[in-house]
Amino acid sequence: MIGFAIAAVMGVTLGILIGWNELVADLFDPVVQWLRPIPMTAWIPFATFIFGIREGAAISLIAMGAFYPIVVNCTTGAEQTPKNLVRAALMLGTSPRKILIRVVLPAALPFIFTGLRLGVGIGWVLVIVVEMLAVKGGIGYAMWTAYQFVRIDLIIAAMFTIGVLGLVTDRLLLLISRRLLRWNTGLRAR
């Protein structure tokens, strides 16, 4: 959860700024697009070198993996803010900072929640990978140990547990998004 929280704060902030400000986009979007294709498993040796075989490695890798879908979706959301809304706010004398907070951010919320849902899913995948390779504990480590002792029952139980945890966190984000985005007619009503 710590890694995902770091990714969410950084991804939403940077994504909105990249999508809204050309200077920020020119500086940071190429870096994001350059680093994004590198598989998270390629970062494991680097993270374990920096943090050791501890939770810091897991947190950093989960944060990095969840960050990219969040930042890309938030960028798209900010870029697709209806120009008529921005023009109307400018005509009413709204400052650029208030436009960012009161126009761009609400318009980008559907994209933000999509990025968060994708990020949390990738975060759960990385929990397993990182615990198998870079941390001496957790469900991933238990799965790896079960594999070494040919305990398929434990592997399946761990897979089921991760699936349930992933579903619960996704549904929680979906519930929050539906409550916050009642105004968005694009969301299905259930």
pLDDT digits (tens, 9 = 90+) for 115-150: 999 999 999 998 888 888 777 778 888 888 888 898
Question: Domain limits of the chain?
Answer: 2-180
Using alpha carbons only, what angle is made at residue 53 by residues 50 and 54, rounded to the nearest 5 degrees? 90
The CA–CA distances, whole Å, from 12 to 72, 108, 112 equal: 9, 10, 7
| Residue corresponding to tokens 């009503």 | 189
Cβ count within 10 A of residue 95: 11
Mean pLDDT of 137-165: 89
pTM score of the predicted model: 0.84
pLDDT tens digits for range 74-103: 999 999 988 888 889 888 888 888 888 888
CB distance 121 to 166 below 8 Å: yes
Question: 2-180: what CATH class?
Answer: mainly alpha
